[in-house]
Structure 1
Amino acid sequence: MNVAIIGASGYTGLELIKILINHPKFNIAYIANSSGDINVKDLHPCLKNVINMDVSLANASEVAKVADLAFLALPHKTAMSFAKELLELGLKVIDLSADYRLELETYEKYYCEHLDKEHIKDAVYGLPEYFKEDIKTAKLIANPGCYPTASLLALLPFIDYIDTDAQIFIDAKSGVSGAGKNPSETTHYCQINDNVHAYNPFKHRHMPEIHEKVKILKGKDVSINFVPHLLPLTRGMLVSVFATLKDDIDVNEILNKAYKDCEFIRIREKPVDVKSVAGTNFCDLFVAKNGKALFVSSAIDNLLRGASSQAVVNANIICGYEEYEGIPKIAYVP
């Protein structure tokens, strides 16, 4: 199947190219960004002698001539305008932005006015472990954010066993690539090197995404307190969930049962680390308890499982391929 990548300039766009170059079923037929007039090997020098393809100025009509599916690695608001055009032209769309992840009211509260109200109701949330059957028949996939991916995979197996009158705290830490390619004061080398800091505590846009999906999947309106931190790492994400159990239960049995048939979930017997998942689509999970105090930890590659490789898994599923086809499994270690 011919596919297009729209938004090739950023980190997630590059990761999509790297995965799709070697994919057994997908062929990259179109690469675009907001300017065009450059070859992909000049846009990303690491691709020299790997792929030789011109980068186009993004145009939905041109995409429809050569591709059947499009990946949108674009900022929110920009993505929805392209998605709307592509869907009307009959393409399948995997959107890596936030534009279709939330219900309309929640989206407009935390982001901006939605420009494609017609299609937002048709979007399927692309967390395969929980929405695989819906993904199979979808035309539009809302690829989850990196923080919600790691948080939900850790939290969801235990929602039915948690005291939902108590507060749930999520302590999340991300590598700097999660902030995107454009530099800022907080991501400047002199600021982030040998440093760590929290940002947007209790106010981060991914908090309502986590809350909403828990409510949809489990029917429970839980109190979630989400605090993200920025680490002096290029890539990787470590999320720690703290909650209170209703009863003394076997937490390892619950976690293993929840994910026993899941291709890209690994249950660890020791606390997880980001290096073991870097460069892969795996989510590594660890659970422990102290009486009724619950601790669940997850580790993912924020650019892959938190964005690009998860997007390709979703594309595999909606196209009827095996979800693991072409998906990276070997970590960048040592």
Structure 2
Amino acid sequence: MIRVGIVGISGYTGLELVKMIVAHPYFELSYAGASSSGVLSENFSSLKGVIDIEIKKADADEIKSKCDLVFLALPHTEGMKLASMLRGSGVKIVDLSADYRVSQANYEKNYCPHLDPKGLEDAVYGLVEINRNKIKNANLIANPGCYPTCSLLGLLPFANMLKSDVMIDAKSGLSGAGKGLKSSSHFISVNENMNAYSPLTHRHSDEISEHLNLNLSQKIDVMFVPHLIPLSRGMLVSSYGFLNDEFKDIDPLEILKEFYKDERFIRIRREPVSIKDVAGTHFCDIYAMNHNGKIWINSSIDNLLRGASSQAIANANLIMGIDESTALPIIGNSI
């Protein structure tokens, strides 16, 4: 068995990681860390009688002695503090924060001075369909954000066909805001409501732009507007752009099918996608249409799973030499 730790286990993504690790034939939860101590089932009553483990205040030396692999489900800026102490110890790291996802310049533009520039250079961006071979040989994985995952998986097949501007209209369920209490996520604020936040300035704009433009000769300007919708989980993204003249007659569904022909967890739809079809699963569903050279790309994921925890498990499987699909959820709650 591979000894696995989760630091930041008391959050929503921590719970999803626990659920998959319990079902995993090769992973064993050997360490649970959080900002305060306690017992796992006291944080999540659904785990009573299923799994219980003492939650400890995170300690790098104890992680090194008890874990072969650790998931860091910590707030941004906290992940790199612990990762910098674990790097080089032999413990494989999957970091779910933003701390290793983008260049130092983009990170410091959106967050704070980076504390581990060398780790930033060594980290591999964990978008599996694009970086699978690099992930297999990595020791530190930067698990992508939920909005970038859903947006990039839709856009990347068309990246070299697009003109210079792309507009992304994204909508996420409330769990993306985390467990912390804030007035904007109170039931009375979100019920029967929808609102945009950080339009055109959201920090995920730079993550999407950086990884979309990574290998392009002509840079694409990304305009990104996220919205909060009154759902527990799920994400729907609509991306709009113009095709270059030589691609104005393409069949976008054929492009998607070819690009993702060997990908089990990408489903190409023949109609606009639905959040209910992916909620509770690792799938990303994608649809696209071309109207006189104008393209609309519609993608959907579960923000807690494909946008965080199940993507982290897929990355962990790869870096530990296990079949990528092991323990990934494939049937959700569609009723």
1:146, distance to aligned residue in structure 2 (A): 0.1
Return the letter of the residue paired with 2:193.
N
Q: In structure 1, how many angstroms separate the alpha carbons of the residues matched to 2:141 and 2:217?
A: 22
Name the count of aligned residue pairs: 331
Residue by residue over 1:123-142, the C-alpha shift from the partner in whole angstroms, topping out at 9 and shown as x without a partner, is 00000000001001000000
Question: Equivalent residue for 1:229?
Answer: 227
Rounded Cα–Cα distance in structure 2 between residues aligned with 1:110 and 1:253 = 37
Structure 1: segments with no counterpart, 5+ residues:
none
1:317 is aligned to: 318
What is the aligned partner in structure 1 of residue 71 from structure 2?
71
Q: Which residue of 2 aligns with 1:182?
A: 180
Listed as ranges, the matches of 1:1-334 within 5 Å are 1-36=2-37, 38-164=38-164, 167-246=165-244, 247-334=248-335
Deviation digits for residues 160-206 of structure 1 (CA, Å, limit 9, x no counterpart)? 11122xx2100000000001111211111001000000000000000
Kindly, what percent of the aligned residue pairs are identical? 49
Equivalent residue of 1:42, what SS?
A: helix
Residues 226-254 of structure 1: CA deviation (Å, up to 9, x unaligned): 00000000000000000011222111111
Structure-2-length-normalised TM-score? 0.97
2:128 alignment partner AA: P
Task: Return the alpha-carbon distance in structure 1 between the equivalents of residues 252 and 213 of structure 2.
Answer: 21
- Using the TM superposition, give the Cα deviation of residue 82 of structure 1 relative to its aligned residue in structure 2, in angstroms: 0.5
For residue 288 of structure 1, give the secondary structure of its aligned residue in structure 2: strand
Instruction: Check whether the contact 2:163–2:220 (CA below 8 A) recurs between aligned residues.
Output: no
Contact 1:214 1:220 in 2 (8 A): no
Q: Is the 8 A contact 2:251 2:289 kept in 1?
A: no
1:25 offset after TM fit, Å? Answer: 1.1
- The Cα of 1:35 is off from its aligned counterpart by 0.9
Query: How has the CA–CA distance of structure 1 residues 309 and 127 changed in structure 2, closer, same or farther, with 3 Å as cutoff?
Result: same
Report the 3-state secondary structure (helix = DSSP H, G, I; strand = E; otherwise coil) of the residue aligned with 1:121: helix
Residues 44, 217 of structure 1: CA spacing in aligned structure 2 closer, same or farther, 3 A cutoff? farther
Q: What CA distance in whole angstroms lies between the structure 1 residues aligned with 2:139 and 2:115?
A: 18
> 1:47/1:219 Cα in 2 relative to 1: closer, same or farther (>3 Å)?
farther
CA contact (8 A) 2:30 2:67 kept: yes
Alpha-carbon distance in structure 2 between the residues aligned to 1:52 and 1:187: 29
Distance in 2 separating the partners of 1:173 and 1:219: 30
What TM-score do you get using the length of structure 1 for normalisation?
Answer: 0.98
CA RMSD of aligned residues (A): 0.9
Distance of 1:132 and 1:217 partners within structure 2 = 16
Structure 2 residue runs without a partner (length 5+): none
More displaced, 87-96 or 124-133?
87-96
Partner of 1:24, secondary structure, is coil
